[in-house]
Each structure stands twice: as C-alpha cells, then as structure tokens.
Amino acid sequence: MSAARGRFLTVEGIDGAGKSTHVSWLEKTLRARGHEVLLTREPGGTALGESLRKLLLAEPMDADTETLLMFAARQASLVEVIAPALARGAWVISDRFTDATFAYQGAGKGVAEDKLAVLERWVQGDLQPDLTLLFDVDVKVARERLKNAREPDRFEREGGAFFERVRAGYLERAAKDPQRIRIVAAGETPEHVQSQLEIYISNI
C-alpha cells in the first residue's frame, strides 16, 4: 500500500440494522475531516451494477446465479470505481461488500464457502477493506424497523430463520478476522451507534 492510498471502509449487517442511515453520517464526518469521500453500495455503484441490483432485488433465481451476479457487480465496481478512488487517495465507503456474500449467499442460502473464497480471490486479489463495521442487531428488532420503513425487496421478504443464519454467518466471519471486522451494537440509539463508529474510525 502506497502512502497516498485512501482507506476502504465497508458497512455490513442484516437488513434493518441501520447501515444506510449511518453511512450518511460516516460520509459527512469523514468529509468534515478533510477527506475526499466516495460513497457506494452493493450491489450497485456503476451503471451495470445498478442494473444488476434491480435484477437481484426482484427476480427469482437460484443461489449460485445470485452469487455470480453479486461478484460480477463487485468486479465492475472495483475496477471502475473503488480502485481508482483509492489510488487517488479518496476514502471509499461501501454499503455492503464481500462479507455480505459470505453471510447471505453462504450462511443464509448454503453456497459452499470454498466456492465463495475462490470468487473472492478472483475478484479482489489481495484487496480487503481496511475496516469493516458490522452492524449487529437482534433479528426481531431489525424486522420491526423495516416494517415501518419500506416495502421489502426480495431479500427482505425472507423469514426470521434466514436472517438468524445471516447474522450468525456475519459474526462467524468477524470472529475469523477481528482486526478488520469491528462489531457495532446496532440495537442502540443512533447517538450511541455513532459514538461507537467514532471510536472505530479514529483508529484507522
């Protein structure tokens, strides 16, 4: 990593954990510190990626197809958006990244971890986020939040048992890489969530 390279932050967690809400806060806070900040999301981030997002959030498909489309969108986003931004010194915040595939398609839908690891290596090489903020929250709390917030997409329509597996998958991944993946107690008030984020971003 050259000295000029920016930082790559990812935000993870089950639907309704508060990722998108707090990504905006992170963006504002890091800009106020003088960084160029690029905000992106997965799937999405490029014209192609946003088209794939529409398909992924609406169209029924098997779990392997879903996995491959997720990685296709990720590849495009890395090449077109994330890598160039990091190279010019920007801080990139991505609302979800590869940990989400391990949690949703892996733990949630049973796609084998070794297949995911091959795709991760293919698309990312050695690149990993500098910091991943894992918004961890009780599944019932997250579902209650979503009920009041929006019409559910194809993923958000999954049942509670699915989200329990996804949550457990995220926590297992965090246990394997505790330096990179920091757990945020996301069931707390927004103010308390932000104070946890403050501490984590001050250390990178």
Q: Which residues bind ligand ADP (CB under 6 A)?
A: 13, 15-21, 145, 149, 189-190, 193
- How is residue 166 written in tokens? 């996804």
Per CB under 5 A, the list member of 1, 5, 20, 118 interacting with Mg ion is 20
Residue 182, contacted partner among ligand ADP, Mg ion, none, CB below 5-8 A by kind = none
Residue 24, contacted partner among ligand ADP, Mg ion, none, CB below 5-8 A by kind = none
- CA 19, CA 134: separation in Å to the nearest integer? 9
Q: Using CB atoms, what's the residue nearest to Mg ion?
A: 20
In the three-class reduction of DSSP (H, G, I as helix; E, B as strand; rest coil), residue 13 is classed as strand
- How is residue 43 written in tokens? 């799937």
One-letter amino acid for residue 62 of the chain:
D
Peptide bond into 178 cis (omega under 30): no
Q: Smallest gap, in angstroms, from Cβ of residue 122 to Mg ion? A: 26
Q: Smallest gap, in angstroms, from Cβ of residue 78 to Mg ion? A: 20
Residue 44, contacted partner among Mg ion, ligand ADP, none, CB below 5-8 A by kind = none
User: 168 and 133 in contact (C-beta within 8 Å)?
Assistant: no
Q: Which stretch binds Mg ion (CB under 5 A): 17-25, 61-69, 134-142, 149-157?
A: 17-25
Burial 62-93 (b: 16+ CB within 10 A, else e): eeeebbebbbbbbbbbbeebbeebbeeebbbb
Residue 1, contacted partner among ligand ADP, Mg ion, none, CB below 5-8 A by kind = none
24 lies in the binding site for Mg ion (CB under 5 A): no
**Interface with Mg ion by CB under 5 A: which residues?**
19-20
